[in-house]
Amino acid sequence: MNASTSAGSAASPGASSIVTIPLNDPGEGLTEAEILDIRVAVGDRIEINDAVVEVETAKSAVELSSHVAGTVVAILVAVGDEVPVGAGLLQVDTAGGPAPSAAPEASGGGAAPSADGTARPEADPSAEESAAQSTAAAEASASEEPKNLVGYGAGAAPARRRRRRAAPAQAEDAGQVPIDRILAKPPVRKLARDLGVALHDVLATGPEGTVTRQDVLAAQQRAYGGDIDGAYFPEESPQAPEGLGGAMKTTRDQPFSGVTSDERTTRVPIRSVRKRTAEAMVASAFTAPHVTVFNEIDMTRSLAIISQLRASREWADVKVSPLAVVAKALLVAIRRNPEVNGSWDEAAQEIVYKHYVNLGIAAATPRGLIVPNLKDAHLMTLRELAEGIGELARTARAGRTSLRDTRDGTITVTNYGVFDIDSGTPILNPGESAILGVGAIKEKPWVVEGEVVPRQVATLSLSFDHRLIDGALGAELLRDVSAVLEDPSLGLVWG
């Protein structure tokens, strides 16, 4: 009897009605993904395109949708699991029958006699057995997919979020709610996991019984004692914690992330966006020979135009930022120096010149640095650039950047001026030829027509791939960007 048949015997009369929903590659060449949230519970009725699981990919958090309708009979993963592509996530009875109240979490035989001869639910199989059964079920049901297969994947229509129902009491552990039914956001679950705190032991104080970050920290303090301030720092803060404080005690055999037993270091797993960013930066730094040139410029006229646009009723619904104006100046300069917009194809031993500009906008997000890009930015007006940059920033910070938005960039702008930094040497986004860095705009003394006057000054830095961009060409590009920002009227002449 295969896994699919076994699951079917536990949940429905026909084995063919049990379908395993696997982790599919949402489109970026994944081999595995981390489970951030499980949106359904055993017994839930789901429809086609309902979001069932949220995973973290190399670029963002992605909701995976169901390609079938039916009743959830088994959940094969847990929050925090690193799941390989192709592994089963959950199983659905497409016949629509209700799931047994004590259905096993992973597919297995239905019931087994207890010591007194009464029927009781079987214990959950081991993680290894669950993985093997889910893989077998996926293979067995591949040829039995129901006709309602549509739109499965990250690009499916937006799905409504379901509120989990209260879990029924378990026969062998009355009163304990399954871990996947406890209300807690993914970052809070991760915090509990990293600190070794069981969510079952946490006193929830949030709305509707939601476990909060403070609840987890309080539970750790009760368990280990002492002051835990600074014992953990969240994923969105890659820097070391400011304080030391008391720490979770661990053993050599216990894998963990958190403060070590001597309280001198904190260890955090390298995962998802941080891991992919590191790989990309190392590959770029040791593949393309970087050269960086700098130029200090007078941004006063550009800022005056921005102020005028912000005061205009026609632009009331658009946030015009200096970054949008810098992006427009860069596009004008690329038109004058099209050879900078290319890439080095080592395999083919060719330089690929591109007749379009997909303009990358480096964005610092809670999950790390990502670079979504505006497709065909060379065709955009200033208004369209401002709107596009604003939308990319909002989507990136919400962790919802689409895979399409991160692909096929040609040149990037990074704005470290928002951190009040004057200058830097940015590293190329892999596959691109240049990246323009924008420093903070500050009032400084400046010579204008022989007199020293206060002006709004910023430093631009341009890093480029010296294999295909010579120093003279890189300098020309930066000089043209600078010229347009110092005298925006040149954009009308050159653009």
Q: Does the active-site annotation cover 378?
A: no
Residues 6 or more apart whose CB falls under 8 angstroms from that of 292 comprise: 425, 426, 461, 462, 463, 464
For 258-274, b/e burial (b = at least 16 CB within 10 A) is bbeeebeebebeebbbb
C-alpha torsion angle, residues 188, 190, 196, 199 (rounded to 10) = 50
HEC string for 217-241: HHHHHHHHCCCCCCCCCCCCCCCCC
Pairing assessment for the beta strands 411-415 and 373-374 based on DSSP bridges: unpaired
- Phi and psi (nearest 5°) for 411? -160, 150
| Closest to 74 (Cα-Cα) out of 159, 166, 7 | 7
CA distances from 457 to 13, 292, 304, 454 (A): 75, 19, 13, 9
Q: Which of 290, 355, 378, 466 is catalytic?
A: 466
| 3-state SS assignment for residue 406 | helix
- Closest listed residue to residue 406, CA positions, set 116, 28, 67: 28
Cα-only R_g, the chain: 28
Question: Do the Cβ atoms of 7 and 92 come closer than 8 Å?
Answer: no
305 SS3 class: helix
Backbone angles phi, psi at 446, to 5 degrees: -145, 145
User: What is the DSSP pairing of strand 70-75 with strand 32-38?
Assistant: unpaired
Q: Which residues are catalytic?
A: 466
